Structure 1
Amino acid sequence: MKVTADRPAAHRRAVVFCCYGSYVPYAALAAVRIAALHPRRSFDICLCTGEVPIELPATLEPVGIRICQIRTGELFQGLRLDAGASTDVYLRLALPAALAQDYERILYLDADVSVQGGDFEALLGVNLGGRAIGAVRDNTQWRTPGRHVRQFRQLGLPAAAYFNAGVLLMDVAAYNAADLLGQCLQLGRSRADQMIRHDQNLYNAVLQGDWAELSPVWNWQYTWASRFFEAMQETHIVHFIGSRKPWKDPDGQLPPRFARAMAEFMAVHWPERALPPVKSGPALNPTLMRKHLWKHWIGAPATARYLARFPSDLTVHAPAISFASSWPSKAYRQA
């Protein structure tokens, strides 16, 4: 890999986004909000890209965002790709190896998030119990933690805790010592025809529950069954996991505050790509609201039990078996 950056690293920890093309402004808004929360931060904020370089408008220069280009060459060849996708969708797999000289901790964030608050300094320093990764459980297991996810079934693996890879706290030394990148690459190439998604499933199949679990306030996955509960929590990061995004919500099913913040940001920093004005006034769809309410009503007890496991936003749960002692995983051995 070849790494180039527009400025040297200033700190030993970093919040990192991987983005390219149209997603650069969305990552930039999240980055700006994190910077505003930490005006005297002791961590870097980086936008990383793959083969295609990116630039930020001069209006964002005062924020001090570091831009890194990570050229991976043929590293991700042979891995499963959705139609129209490039191998850059796997770039976060390479972050700890590519940035090992700069950072000891990396907090990776997807670009399709809305940062609401939170102490990112504190999160970057939490104890992961020796694990390579800290993450938030995927929303499919919030109410049914024992659910046997489809990817595990497809690979012939037993049920295990499964995380969403939109927010990942990476311990660089542990990650690289276990060669997590290499293990994911080998599994992904050898079982490409059985993989459903991209690196989220590679991570989970290799680790099989051997990761540190973070509070869902750091990756609140916005779904039919979780959006009302979000209003009652101090969520730090809202993650739009479906196809509907604040910038792609034609019939206004998301709360307008998300689209309004995005539109205002784009108008200042990317005026040539300004979003249409956000509609004001009542726009409630009775059928849609009934669907939301029904999902929340039946899921409330299980959701409450799940949230009770995290008395603090910095509560971390880790399995009894360490990453090192369980390596290599069953998925890797079978590959």
Structure 2
Amino acid sequence: MAGTEHTVTLEADGPARSGRAVVFAADGAYLRYAAFAAAQLARLIPARDFDICLCGPEMPEAVPGLDGLGLRRCRVTTGDMFDRLGLDPRRSAASYLRYALPEAFAAEYGRLLYLDADVFIQGGDFGALLSVDLGAHPLGAVRDNMQWRTPRRRTPSYERLGLPWASVFNSGMMLIDVSTWRERDVLGRMLAFGAAHDPARVGLDQDLVNAVVRGGWAELSPVWNWQYTWASRLFEALADAHVVHFIGPRKPWSHDGGELPLRFRRAYRDFFAANFPEEPVGPDGVAPLANRRFVGRMLVKHLLSLGKLGAYLDRFPDDLTVLA
């Protein structure tokens, strides 16, 4: 890795079977949610030309119920690489692990599609996505939802750092061209930038990578990272989102307050009952339409944002459109 003395190491339970991969990186309990998404993808595309990797700072546990899905378990270690980035409960070393994956897999994969653990995979041609042309950019991603309706909005981290406006992406899904990422030394620049600035001004890992890439990324359709908020969830089905990303604090496996469709919670409950019975997902809880005030506010928000969100979606004639 140019410009740094840090070492990233890789240990895997088997060899790579392809030249590209969909990868998840998490630790602790979140590895189980990553396993859920990885299993969804494996069952969606049983005959695939890419690997699916579950990565963690420790070797992910083997799950007998997933043995036949062809998932590759990987341990990626980074030592003290991220210690100077102001780590805290929201900025753990594990949250930065995704940015070390191109270094870890450099000898095996030319393309990586990173996905967060809190995603729900519903469809899409992932093989085709892994092949799209990113031009000269090190990565492709989906615009952060704060800029879906207001594209000229400057992020709070950019304001704190005195940076001019730039489009910003949500780092819960990144399509990475490994060679270009390494040539641009994205990881090394992140470490240098983070060490040179007050962590409170930089913000979270997503703020840091955006500050370094600074608009130099290829924009992908939001169907690959539909950031599921109270202001966008009703449009998800109409947009035919392939990947639903639960970006807020309300997760289907833990939230029972009636603000998420029960189909998500039930899918996690079935998966955990079969594979992690010691970590059960509880009963349904409040019915989704029981909170009339929330539903009414959500409907009004969707109606008011219809024009702006429609204009944003119109920029992508199909799900493989790349705006470079």
Q: Taking structure 1 as the reference length, what is the TM-score of the superposition?
A: 0.92
The residue number in structure 1 matching 2:5 is: none
Letter in 2 for 1:199: D
Paired residue secondary structure (2:216): coil
Q: Which consecutive unaligned segments of at least 5 residues does structure 2 have?
A: 1-7
Equivalence map 1:213-228=2 (5 Å): 213-228=219-234
Is contact 1:222–1:240 with CA below 8 Å preserved after alignment?
yes
Residues 84, 290 of structure 1: CA spacing in aligned structure 2 closer, same or farther, 3 A cutoff? closer
Using the TM superposition, give the Cα deviation of residue 84 of structure 1 relative to its aligned residue in structure 2, in angstroms. 7.1
Separation (CA, whole Å) in 2 of partners of 1:208 and 1:279: 43
Separation (CA, whole Å) in 2 of partners of 1:126 and 1:32: 24
Residue 167 (str. 1) matches residue 166 (str. 2): no
Residues 84, 313 of structure 1: CA spacing in aligned structure 2 closer, same or farther, 3 A cutoff? closer
Cα deviation 1:33-55 (Å, max 9, x = unaligned): 111221111100001101x3320
Letter in 2 for 1:129: G
The residue number in structure 2 matching 1:134 is: 140
Residue 3 (str. 1) matches residue 14 (str. 2): no
Counterpart selection for 1:236 from 242, 250, 261: 242
Letter in 2 for 1:10: R
Using the TM superposition, give the Cα deviation of residue 86 of structure 1 relative to its aligned residue in structure 2, in angstroms. 3.1
Is contact 1:90–1:198 with CA below 8 Å preserved after alignment?
no
Separation (CA, whole Å) in 2 of partners of 1:299 and 1:21: 38
Counterpart selection for 2:30 from 23, 43, 50: 23
Cα deviation 1:9-65 (Å, max 9, x = unaligned): 110000000011111221111111111221111100001101x33203111110111
Letter in 2 for 1:144: T
Residue 294 (str. 1) matches residue 300 (str. 2): yes
Separation (CA, whole Å) in 1 of partners of 2:71 and 2:202: 34
Paired residue secondary structure (2:254): coil
Residues 282, 122 of structure 1: CA spacing in aligned structure 2 closer, same or farther, 3 A cutoff? closer
The residue number in structure 2 matching 1:60 is: 66
Residues 282, 20 of structure 1: CA spacing in aligned structure 2 closer, same or farther, 3 A cutoff? closer
Cα deviation 1:237-284 (Å, max 9, x = unaligned): 000000000111131210101000000010111112121132486643
Greater mean deviation of Cα atoms: 76-85 or 106-115:
76-85
Equivalence map 1:44-59=2 (5 Å): 44-50=51-57, 52-59=58-65
Paired residue secondary structure (2:29): helix
Would you say how many aligned residue pairs link Structure 1 and Structure 2? 317
Using the TM superposition, give the Cα deviation of residue 82 of structure 1 relative to its aligned residue in structure 2, in angstroms. 2.5
Residues 250, 190 of structure 1: CA spacing in aligned structure 2 closer, same or farther, 3 A cutoff? same
The residue number in structure 1 matching 2:153 is: 147
Give the share of equivalent positions with the same residue, in percent.
50
The residue number in structure 2 matching 1:41 is: 48
Residue 204 (str. 1) matches residue 203 (str. 2): no
Is contact 1:78–1:192 with CA below 8 Å preserved after alignment?
no
Cα deviation 1:173-203 (Å, max 9, x = unaligned): 0000111100001001111334453321111
Counterpart selection for 1:193 from 199, 222, 240: 199
Using the TM superposition, give the Cα deviation of residue 231 of structure 1 relative to its aligned residue in structure 2, in angstroms. 2.0
Paired residue secondary structure (2:84): coil
Is contact 2:39–2:69 with CA below 8 Å preserved after alignment?
yes
Separation (CA, whole Å) in 1 of partners of 2:17 and 2:91: 33
Cα deviation 1:210-232 (Å, max 9, x = unaligned): 10000000000011210011121
The residue number in structure 1 matching 2:87 is: 81
Is contact 1:21–1:54 with CA below 8 Å preserved after alignment?
no
Separation (CA, whole Å) in 2 of partners of 1:283 and 1:246: 16
Q: Which consecutive unaligned segments of at least 5 residues does structure 1 have?
A: 319-335
Is contact 1:34–1:115 with CA below 8 Å preserved after alignment?
yes
Is contact 1:45–1:66 with CA below 8 Å preserved after alignment?
yes
Counterpart selection for 1:245 from 226, 247, 251: 251
Counterpart selection for 1:303 from 279, 304, 309: 309
